[in-house]
């Protein structure tokens, strides 16, 4: 028997989205398949890697650990919502400038975890940066350039400071 669907409504990257989903659909599946935003990645099935990280109601969340219905009524930010008409987000610019990525698979999740950090701490120290991305695994970079990129983005996002 086909599973009954549940109506949900949420804001995704500033746009109102309505959908009917199976109650067991994961949020990451909803993001990638139902609303066609493939920038949120799936890197494991153990909630370890952080490639699926998004911001839900302003807090970072591993979208493979939530059902889509749990986002009903919420505000979701995915990597596709970071850039604006003015160009790439400072975090995206800093990751590019400081080689904070190689294959890029971890990058969407890294960016969203970093954004949450910078929204809480405008001038994070290295320990705060390490803690913020502790749930995000990168198999390429060795992390040093990611730390540099996040610190550089913090400077860029401070008023009157724009150095990359």
Q: Which residues bind ligand FES (CB under 6 A)?
A: 42-44, 47-52, 62, 64, 101-106, 138-141
CA dist., res. 150 & res. 35, Å (int): 29
Helix (H, G, I), strand (E, B) or coil at 125: coil
* Between 17 and 143, CB nearer to ligand FES: 143
CA dist., res. 150 & res. 143, Å (int): 11
- Nearest Cα residue to 143 out of 41, 79, 43, 50: 50
- Is 74 in contact with 97 (CB distance < 8 Å)? no
Least Å from the CB of residue 110 to ligand FES: 7
Least Å from the CB of residue 35 to ligand FES: 17
* Between 15 and 139, CB nearer to ligand FES: 139
Least Å from the CB of residue 12 to ligand FES: 18
CA dist., res. 75 & res. 30, Å (int): 14
* Between 32 and 89, CB nearer to ligand FES: 32
* Between 39 and 43, CB nearer to ligand FES: 43
Least Å from the CB of residue 34 to ligand FES: 17
CA dist., res. 43 & res. 118, Å (int): 24
């Amino acid at each position: 028997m086909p599973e009954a669907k549940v109506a949900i409504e949420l804001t995704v990257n500033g746009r109102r989205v309505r959908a009917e989903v199976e109650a067991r659909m994961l949020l990451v599946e909803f993001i990638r398949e139902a609303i066609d935003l493939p920038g949120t990645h799936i890197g494991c099935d153990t909630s370890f890697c952080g490639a699926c990280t998004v911001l839900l109601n302003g807090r970072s969340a591993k979208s493979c650990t939530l059902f889509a219905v749990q986002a009903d009524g919420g505000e979701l930010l995915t990597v596709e919502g970071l850039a604006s008409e003015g160009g790439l987000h400072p975090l995206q610019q800093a990751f590019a400038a400081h080689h904070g990525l190689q294959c890029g698979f971890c990058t969407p999740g890294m960016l969203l975890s970093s954004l949450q950090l910078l929204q809480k701490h405008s001038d994070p120290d290295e320990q705060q940066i390490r803690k913020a991305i502790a749930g995000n695994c990168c198999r390429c970079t060795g992390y040093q350039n990611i730390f540099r990129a996040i610190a550089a983005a913090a400077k860029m996002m401070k008023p009157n400071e724009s150095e990359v």
